[in-house]
Amino acid sequence: MKKQLTAALLAALCLLLPGCSGASSSASATASADEAQTQTIYAMDTVMDLKAYGGSASAALTAAADTITRLESVFSVTDENSEVYAINQNGGEESVSQPVADLLTLGLKIGKQTDGAFELSIYPVVRAWGFTTGSYQVPTNDELQSLLTKVDDAAIEFDGTKLTLPAGMELDFGAIAKGYAGDQAIEAMREAGASSAILNLGGNVQTLGLKPDGSNWNVAIKNPKDPESENYLGILSVGETAVITSGGYERYFTQDGVTYHHIIDPATGYPADSGLTSVTIVGEDGGVCDGLSTSLFVMGKDKALDYWRTYGGFQCVLVTEDGEVVVTEGLKDAFTLVDETDYTVTVAAEAGT
């Protein structure tokens, strides 16, 4: 019975996952209320699957794709025409755009609340590892220590309009830009008349409304031990929300038998080694969830749960190296473990319960 249920769920969510869906769009101007249209785009270094239902689906997909592409051209660290590229070259800007202002405000707040697990100014370190360009290398410890002297979000001066960076500092919005772009894309789809849609921005799933039949979405969480397969870790049943995952398996390279991933612990300059293999955050605001998925991955299980109990406003699924899946109380009924061989679930309670 349980196996049948799992098979049905997997079939239902296959279309949500990259690789499962077909190529580009399948548009029809006279789509019925529950007919899906899909579009696959490549942006922000990520394959993104967009899906909308109903008569406005085609317009909604165009609006979402345009929104994401526009934000990519703002936040790219490598595109010489982007606003962030100019900020990094010039040490700031007299008047930043609204998206940059939004993410500066959010990033600085998350950095403070996470005691520096999150640093927008991590970019020189990320670049030294080659994660921006794909030319991977292991920097020397001396180089990392020297680059870390430039990583200090507390030294960023931002008054809501004018941004000033200390000499040598460079920003990287890569840990929050996709979640923010997802939020903006969902709003653009809503404005285009859609009431049911789902975006999969490479591990970031964001939904608009419910499925056309009024049921929840089934969102798969990848298995960190086997991320390319359909041997999922588990499934979350959710309404309109963001489900955003950070995992060391998303971007990494191996040298001399050691694997190095792209989520950096600002305390050391090395890939975070916190005992977690993935962190999924569920909440209303995609930018916040994206920032927290990265931060809680760096912090490790105990500090992550302390953060959840202190600040709240989201739920999460933490996966540890030794096969524990910690599900916060608000998700306990929404989460179904699929890989029962390798993992066991524990439920984290709110403080004081």
- Please give the residue ranges that form the binding site for ligand AMP (CB under 6 A): 118-119, 122, 126, 131, 172, 174-175, 246, 250-251, 262-264, 266, 290, 293-294, 298
Q: Which amino acid is at 51?
A: K
Provide the CA 118 distance to its chain's centre, in angstroms: 14
Contact between 119 and Mg ion by CB under 5 A: the answer reads no
Question: Measured from the CB atom, is 53 or 307 closer to Mg ion?
Answer: 307
CB of 66 to ligand AMP, least distance (A): 23
CA distance 296 to 316: 10
Rounded least distance, CB 284 to Mg ion, Å: 16
Q: Looking at beta carbons only, is 31 or 126 nearer to Mg ion?
A: 126
**Nearer of residues 279 and 334 to ligand AMP, judged by Cβ:** 279
Write out the two tokens for 313. 């406003």
Task: Provide the residue type at 129 as one letter.
Answer: W
Say how many residues touch Mg ion, by CB under 5 A: 5
Interface region with Mg ion, contact rule CB under 5 A, candidates 8-16, 51-59, 194-202, 292-300: 292-300
Q: Are 329 and 350 in contact (CB under 8 A)?
A: yes
Q: If 0-12 CB within 10 Å is exposed, 13-18 middle and 19+ buried, where does residue 213 land?
A: exposed
Strand-pairing partners, residue 200, are: 49, 205
DSSP-derived letter for residue 27 is -
Helices (H), 21-93: 57-75, 83-90
φ and ψ at residue 83, rounded to 5 degrees: -65, -40
* Token reading at 97: 């755009």
**CA atoms of 296 and 108, how far apart (whole Å):** 15
Q: Under a CB-based contact definition with an 8 Å cutoff, are residues 206 and 66 in contact?
A: no
Which option in ligand AMP, Mg ion, none does residue 276 bind, with CB closer than 5 to 8 A by kind?
A: none
Q: How far is the CB of 175 from ligand AMP (least distance, A)?
A: 3
Cβ 247 to ligand AMP shortest distance, Å? 8
Task: Work out whether strand 324-328 and strand 344-348 pair parallel, antiparallel, or are unpaired.
Answer: parallel
Identify the residue among 21, 294, 315, 320 touching Mg ion (CB under 5 A).
294
Closest approach, Cβ 107 to ligand AMP, in A, equals: 7
Q: CB of 126: closest distance to ligand AMP in angstroms?
A: 5
Q: Which residue is nearest to ligand AMP (CB)?
A: 174
Alpha-carbon distance of 351 to 292, in angstroms, equals 19
Nearest approach, Cβ of residue 171 and Mg ion (Å): 15
| Alpha-carbon gap, residue 127 to 295, rounded angstroms | 19
Chain residues 164-203 in contact with Mg ion, contact rule CB under 5 A: 175
For residues 277 and 293, which CB has a smaller minimum distance to Mg ion in the complex? 293
Considering CB distances under 5 to 8 angstroms, the limit depending on partner class, which of Mg ion, ligand AMP, none binds residue 119?
ligand AMP
Q: What CA–CA distance (Å, rounded) separates 269 from 267?
A: 6
Amino acid at the residue 186: I
Single-letter code of the amino acid located at 303: K
DSSP 3-state assignment of 305? helix
Looking only at the bridges linking them, the beta strands covering 234-238 and 197-201 are unpaired
Shorter beta-carbon distance to Mg ion: residue 92 or 247: 247
Q: Which is nearer to ligand AMP, 57 or 263 (CB)?
A: 263
Q: Is 293 in the site for Mg ion (CB under 5 A)?
A: yes
Query: Which residue lies nearer to Mg ion by CB, 63 or 68?
Result: 68
* Residues 271-290, mask of contacts with Mg ion (x by CB under 5 A): -------------------x
Q: Which is nearer to ligand AMP, 61 or 292 (CB)?
A: 292
Q: Which residues bind Mg ion (CB under 5 A)?
A: 175, 246, 290, 293-294
